[in-house]
Chains A and B, each alone.
Chain A
Amino acid sequence: MKPKLILVGTGMAGTRFLEHLLEEAPNSYEIEVFNKEPVGGYNRIMLSPVLAGEKTIPDIMTHDEAWFEERRIRLHTGKMVSAIDSVGQVLTTFCGETYFYDKLVIATGSNPFKLEIPGADLPGVVTFRDIRDVENMLSVSQNHNKAVVIGGGLLGLEAAHGLIKRGMDVTVIHRSEVLMNMQMDKESSQLLKSHLEQESNGVSGMKFHLGVNTTEILGQHQVESIRLDDGSEIATDLVVMSIGIRPNTQLAKQANLDVNRGILVNDFLETSAGNIYALGECNEHRGQTYGLVAPLYEQAKILAKRLAGQSVSYTGSITSTMLKVTGVNLFSAGEFKGENGADVIVFRDLAKNIYRKIVLKNNQVIGALLFGDTTGANWLFELLRQKQNISPMRDTLVFGPGY
């Protein structure tokens, strides 16, 4: 009898883990997978194009039911796991079914943050996390034309972009003066803002209220407007909250695993209970939680190797963001802000909406922010990771490799 491995969650970390595991240790486990959503695995990053009408749900499915079937993995969709008995190595679903496991991998991801303000539970207030959220927004957009997105991070801007493409008039509210302040500095934020404010190809521009907080959502039976702490009020039919995510630790807490912000794991991605592992956005490793795909993939690979019997460990990820925000390429990594006396090299070609910035300390790259032109991003990221001395190429560093 093969040992039984159960995976909870078929998000991007979970499915990637399965791929690696099947590669590293084929036929070693009998695998069962639980997913609360009524589908298999899909590329969550591609939800934005779905919202914008550029892609459909089938386009973004990565692991449909057939995929699991072909690999003899038993997939339970639409089944929430409600409890774990870590001593007995048994888990229970909402419907009361129980399943034994030899190894359990928790990859429950994260939940969107919701503002706890008056009116937050009015109909018309949504988050932007999964397929259901997208469907919600799309149905509102069919009959209404005003939307507010709270949160000017990457997801918020993508939601705003999608809604504009669906014909809505969208205002973005953001607490910071800097859009995408996890990935950008003030200068690039201004470039992005003016880019987004422009009307292009008949699609209207976004409106912004930066440096303000939402104090209240108003409406009788449905969202009608929001109120900001500068006193202004904006009429709207839809409020999308996109103010961040929080690791989904509900199940772990219930099972009495050690949890801080996320499910605590060691360098082998083991939780405090034997034979239970936590993977991806739901965990916390060396005090760090991750919300980007690259570290999750790294963890998935390490865990797969681990469970294939290899002696590898995970020591954390240096994160970088490489993405396309509504047509603008962006890369940012490390300490891209350039504070605390670090050296900063900047290249600007504002007419072409290009801004590139390298942050150095002791002639080592400690951060980079490439806006509008991400040539050489990978190369720079390697330099950053390897802490290479860049003195010989400092003069051309910001322009990328090959000089």
Chain B
Amino acid sequence: MNRPVFLSPEDIETTCPYCGVGCGMTISSKTTPVESDSFEVKVKGSPSHRANYGKLCVKGSSAGETVDFTGRMLHPQIDGNIVDWETALNDVAKTFQNTISEYGADSVAFYVSGQFLTEDYYVANKLIKGFMGTANIDTNSRLCMASAVVGYKRAFGSDTVPCCYEDLEHADLITLVGSNTAWAHPIIYQRIVAAKKQNPKLKIVVVDPRRTATCDIADLHLAIKPGMDAALFNGLLAYLNQQKALDLDYIQKHTEGFESALQKANELQGNVSDLATQCDLNETDLQQWLYWAVHTPKMVTMYSQGINQSSSGVDKSNAIINCHLATGRIGKEGMGPFSITGQPNAMGGREVGGLANQLAAHMDFSDPESIDRVARFWQAENMAQQNGLKAVDLFHAVGEGKIKAIWIMNTNPVVSMPDADKVKRALEKCDYVVVQDCMQDTDTTRMANVLLPATTWGETDGAVTNSDRTISIQRQFMQGPENARPDWWILSEVAKKMGWIDAFNYDSAVDIFREHAQLSGFENNGSRDFDISAFANITKQEYADFKPIQWPVNASARNGTHRMFSEGRFFTPSKKAQFIAITPYSPLSQQTEDKPYVLNTGRVRDQWHTMTRTAKTAKLMAHKNEPYITLHPDDASLHQLSEGDLVRVSNELGQLIGRVDISSSQRRGEIFVPIHWTSQYASHGRVDSLIQANVDPLSGQPESKHATAKIERYSAQWQGFILSRTAINPELFDDDYWVKITGKQFYRYEIASERALKNSQAWAKIILSSSEDTEWIEYDDTSCKQYRAALIKNDQLHKVFFMAADHKMPSRDWLGQLFSATELSPIERRSLLAGKASGVKDPGRMICSCFGVGINTIIEAIEAKDLVSVDAIGQALKAGTNCGSCVPELTEILAVELNSDISEKTG
């Protein structure tokens, strides 16, 4: 049955599929079990989950709208032909077996995902490291928090997040470093906002080259020069020492290596004035932060991809951790160095050891005893003995032909890897590419020899761990496509066909979770942080009733562990935490005459990763719907660019085309591009095709936040858009610019071309595939280079096309609404190519996605009703009162409106 079927008569507690906050969700049993293509489930925040206490962000709130089967992979396929599971599994098993026997174990690789459930991760890791005999398994988590892992391990001897979310509520100073929390982790942001309301003493400092939406609640924004974070925290260490703010007792009792770390800091960043220059910061601002840091014991430093995605990300982590160790601000309420992960189960991946430089259950290849222990536990036939290749090296080896068979699971490296075009070429050349995914068409599934359809969120059970070590279960609430299978099942079946029947004989997820828990406690005796041996005998029923809990969970901590290192005991051989002497260095890719701009990347509020899920819902596409390039007003005028113009960003690796977004939030000479767009949604939107594959030498994490490039105007001869009830084959657009945006019952394409159109009508008829059973309506103003056409089928709007010399065309919103109409009224039909209803006001760009409130409506209400606060806007229009994600933008709009109001009155 390839229609979604809702399963449960009762509400189901599950976990959000998106970011590392790991919010609890309740799937309402009130979902009507309709068997239609437009299937949706009702989702609300789970009030009892300690990550979110009932709140959900806009992405989470609309997760229920993404569970239909549109675009799903429905069958196993070999070389484009549908096959049955038996054939597909045999093919994979045989090919991996033959490759290993012919070229050795290191000729095969897995590339997996932080969206894997823990059980899937566990089986993949066990199969390749214990039985295939190589550690060539890496994961997209490499791109996300590998540096944080190594940073923690260097300092604590273990990959341990010391903090819990409650620390944010207890802190008096939160420094957010390289984290646009407001957009990337909205529920954590909401918790901080609430904490600040409760505790007016709480100071929020944002360290980020960009003035992001997160700065909205900041008492101080340090717009640091990109890459200078390690210097900043070295400077803090030196300053803490100068101000005698160190906890010498703690340093002496619980740490090692302090002297050399301080010496290095003093030597390089010992002078505040010099530090301000190095970091390109206003000295007074810097002084302010340093002052707060000295005088605020309850200090949390929260960091994310801005720290991790760097060629010196590990050092940056340790520079931060050094400051917490030196003040003893760790393991106590409201304190600690807190790394926030981007994926729902990056942490689960770390737990099972699903990275090339991990073994399993927080054990490493560096220790022969550990290798032996894991081999014995698994009864492994071919235990890998050393680290495998990390992501960048792994795909490099694919390109060089050293890896001959690769199995990619639930991730999209052709989009997300740095130098992404090179990854694409490598996969094109590779002998055998297996791609296991829930979606049929991704940039990576296109590269596959074998496609294996996986179940996804809501269709299977499995554990995930969030950023503060809370293990929750993602539960099945609906039936997936008939031929889709859980990832662990697919992996186990291949393993069995390769001859390892007993080792992979799992009936359900709980069997795997139980084994995972047993391994965590196996010969542990307090030597390893990750220990969930309390679940070593978990039953099926207990797993079904599993309540979120923070690891470790063992005999001495039955109820889990909120905070780590409270007693100052660490997992290093000496049981002491390690200071690391840090020599900061600049990002590897430097600006040149040919590449004068620093290119920074990141997320947008309503999208997630490569958009395979978020782009399915119109609601989430309404906020930012085209790839864009944010740049400083001075840089814009230098290139004579205006808001909404198209611009090409390029360097030696590739190019990207997007809309100009002018903002003083950007530093001069630096541009920002979002990470999300793929070839499925944009012609030239893959920013990773421009990212030089510079990696951190210790973590192997790429410097995705810092590339260099040039920008130039994309000289569009014409621009246009199409709204279409059915998807359009993008090949029809040739090499022209296009972006695909999901609407409600339609797809929208924004298009532009550097080539003039000779015959607009002929082109439109091909693109819209006009046919006998359709009616054609058109508008032609040749002298103004305007052409518009619509295709009507059975009195319904089927497709509509607008073309003009520039981007100034009517708002697409009104036209989009017409796709929901069962029949066009004569007035609608006449107004169609006018692009708007006669006499009806245009709500403008969508700001509040939850309630569909546009910018024009908001501005009008502010003016008409004299609204002076975001709350007042909320009361008047409901905007911002659901998920709150748009509150920063509402604040900004309000500020602009109130300002212009004042200048009108005084001017």
**Is A400 a contact partner of B780 (Cβ separation < 8 A)?**
no
Contact B782 A344 (CB under 8 A): yes
Q: Residue A36 at the B interface, CB < 8 A?
A: no
Cβ of B637 within 8 Å of any chain A Cβ, yes or no, is: no
Are A343 and B781 neighbours in the complex by a CB distance under 8 Å? Answer: yes
Q: Are B830 and A345 in contact (CB under 8 A)?
A: no
Give the complex CA separation of A350 and B777 in angstroms.
Answer: 7
B811 within 8 A of A: no
Which of B776, B810, B829, B830 is most buried by chain A, counting CB atoms within 10 A of its CB?
B830
> B839 interface residue, CB < 8 Å from A?
yes
Which residue of chain A has its CB nearest to the CB of B774? A351
Distance of A396 Cα from B781 Cα, bound (Å): 11
Cβ contact of B838, chosen from A346, A373, A402, cutoff 8 A? A402
Given the known interface contacts A349-B829, A375-B830, the answer about A403 and B778 at a Cβ–Cβ threshold of 8 Å is: no
B265 at the interface (CB under 8 A from A): no
Query: Which residues of A, 340-367, contact B by the 8 Å Cβ criterion?
Result: 343-352, 354
Q: Which of A346, A352, A373, A401 contacts B779 (CB 8 A)?
A: A346
A355 to chain B, nearest CB (A): 11
A395 at the interface (CB under 8 A from B): yes
In the complex, the answer to whether B780 meets A346 with C-beta atoms within 8 Å is yes
- A346 and B787 CA atoms in complex are apart in Å by 10
B836 beta carbon closer than 8 Å to chain A: yes
Find chain B residues with CB under 8 A from A402 CB.
Answer: 838-839
Q: Decide yes or no whether A50 CB sits under 8 A from chain B.
A: no
- Shortest CB distance B776–A (Å): 7
- Interface residue? A394 (CB, 8 A): yes
- Interface residue A398 (Cβ < 8 Å from any Cβ of B): yes
Q: A349-B829, A351-B792, A352-B829 are in contact. Are A399 and B834 (CB under 8 A)?
A: yes
A347 engages B779 (CB within 8 Å):
yes
- Check B782–A395 contact: CB distance below 8 A: no
Nearest CB of A to B606, in Å: 30
**Which positions 314-350 of chain A face chain B at CB distance < 8 Å?**
343-350
**Are A394's CB and B836's CB within 8 A?**
no
How far does the alpha carbon of A287 sit from the alpha carbon of B777 in the complex, in Å? 41
Q: Return B761 CB to nearest CB of chain A, in Å.
A: 10
Q: How far is the CA of A395 from the CA of B835 in the complex (A)?
A: 9
Contact B777 A403 (CB under 8 A): no
- B767-794: CB near A (< 8 Å → 1, else 0) gives 0000000011111111110100000100
Chain B residues within an 8 Å CB radius of A394: 781, 784
Complex interface residues of chain A between 102 and 159 (CB less than 8 A to chain B): none
Instruction: State A352–B776 Cα separation when bound (angstroms).
Output: 10
> A396 contacts B836, CB within 8 Å?
yes
Contact B775 A396 (CB under 8 A): no
Determine the chain A residues whose CB is within 8 A of the CB of B776 once the complex forms: 348, 350-351
Among A346, A347, A373, chain B packs the most CB atoms within 10 A around the CB of A347
B830 touches A348 (CB 8 A): no
Known A-B contacts A347-B778, A350-B776; the reply to A373 vs B830 at CB < 8 A is yes
Q: Does B527 contact A (CB under 8 A)?
A: no
- Give the complex CA separation of A344 and B779 in angstroms: 11
Q: Which residues of the other chain, B, contact A396 by a CB distance below 8 angstroms?
A: 834-836
Task: List residues of chain A with CB within 8 A of the CB of B505.
Answer: none
By the criterion CB–CB under 8 Å, are A403 and B829 in contact?
no
A350 CA / B834 CA spacing, docked (Å)? 17
Instruction: Indicate which residue in B779, B783, B792, B810 contacts A398 across the interface (CB closer than 8 Å).
Output: B779
Among residues of B, the one whose C-beta sits closest to the C-beta of A357 is B780
Please measure, in the bound complex, the distance between the C-alpha atom of A401 and the C-alpha atom of B784, giving whole angstroms. 20
Q: Is B831 an interface residue (CB 8 A)?
A: yes
Quick check: is B833 within 8 A (CB to CB) of the other chain? yes
CB of B833 within 8 A of CB of A403, answer no
> What is the chain A residue whose CB lies nearest that of B808?
A395
Taking the nearest CB of chain B, how far is it from the CB of A396, in angstroms?
A: 4
Residues of A within 8 A of B780 (CB): 344-348
Select A403's contact among B779, B781, B782, B834, beta carbons within 8 Å. B834
- Residues of B813-846 whose CB lies within 8 A of A: 829-831, 833-836, 838-839
Q: In chain B, what residue has the closest Cβ to A341?
A: B783
> What A residues does B792 contact at CB under 8 A?
351
Instruction: State whether B838 touches A400 (Cβ < 8 A).
Output: yes
Bound state CA distance, A373 and B777, in angstroms?
A: 14
A330 to B734, CA, bound (A): 42
CB distance A348 to B839 under 8 Å?
A: no
Of A344, A348, A400, which is within 8 A of B778 by CB?
A348
Give 10 closest A-B pairs by Cβ, nearest first: A402-B838, A351-B775, A399-B834, A343-B783, A345-B781, A396-B834, A402-B839, A349-B777, A346-B780, A347-B779
Using a CB–CB cutoff of 8 Å, the interface residues on chain B facing chain A are 775-784, 786, 792, 810, 829-831, 833-836, 838-839
Could you pull out 9 A-B pairs where Cβ atoms are within 8 angstroms? A344-B782, A344-B783, A347-B779, A349-B830, A350-B776, A354-B830, A375-B830, A398-B779, A403-B834
Known: A350-B775, A399-B830, A400-B838. 4 other contacts (CB 8 A): A347-B777, A349-B775, A398-B779, A402-B838
- Taking beta carbons and an 8 Å cutoff, which residues of A are in contact with B? 343-352, 354, 373, 375, 394-396, 398-403
